[in-house]
């Protein structure tokens, strides 16, 4: 199973002050995803709205972004990734964005709600 995570949707699923340090919240999500992926052998891609400065890198999780930050740019990149897969039925997209959820379901992927997923990865 491959997981594609709508990064800002997961971060924004809890009003914990993430907006005060957006990049720090993004890096923290990647760290939690690394621990979860390593513990369970999961293949994970997290997608953000645009490239980060400095870049957030990981040896465990694929950190991706839309080519440029714009409305729905991360959604479009996630749909592109699902559509490019030879096995979209083996992908779960993590998001609570109903529009994105419909688009990836139409492309053959599964959807996991962001808040529940965040609870899951915070156990690691």
Predicted confidence (pLDDT) per residue in 42-73, tens digit? 999 999 998 888 999 999 999 999 988 888 89
Domains of the chain: 2-121 (3.40.50)
Mean pLDDT estimate for the chain: 96
DSSP alpha helix (H) spans, the chain: 7-11, 22-40, 73-84, 98-106, 114-121
- Considering the entire predicted model, what is its pTM? 0.95
Q: Which residues contact 4 (CB under 8 A, 6 or more apart)?
A: 44, 45, 46, 47, 78, 81, 82, 91, 92, 93, 94, 109
Q: SS3 of 63, please?
A: strand
The C-alpha R_g of the chain, in whole angstroms, comes to 13
């Amino acid at each position: 199973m491959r997981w594609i995570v709508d990064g800002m949707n997961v971060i924004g699923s809890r009003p914990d002050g993430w907006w005060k340090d957006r990049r720090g919240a993004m890096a923290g999500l990647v760290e939690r995803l690394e621990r979860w992926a390593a513990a369970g052998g999961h293949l994970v891609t997290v997608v953000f709205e645009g490239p980060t400065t400095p870049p957030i890198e990981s040896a465990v999780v694929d950190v991706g972004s839309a080519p440029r930050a714009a409305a729905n740019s991360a959604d479009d990149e996630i749909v592109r990734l699902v559509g490019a897969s030879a096995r979209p039925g083996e992908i779960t997209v993590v998001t609570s964005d109903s529009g994105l959820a419909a688009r990836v379901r139409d492309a053959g992927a599964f959807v996991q709600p962001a808040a529940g997923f965040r609870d899951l990865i915070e156990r690691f």
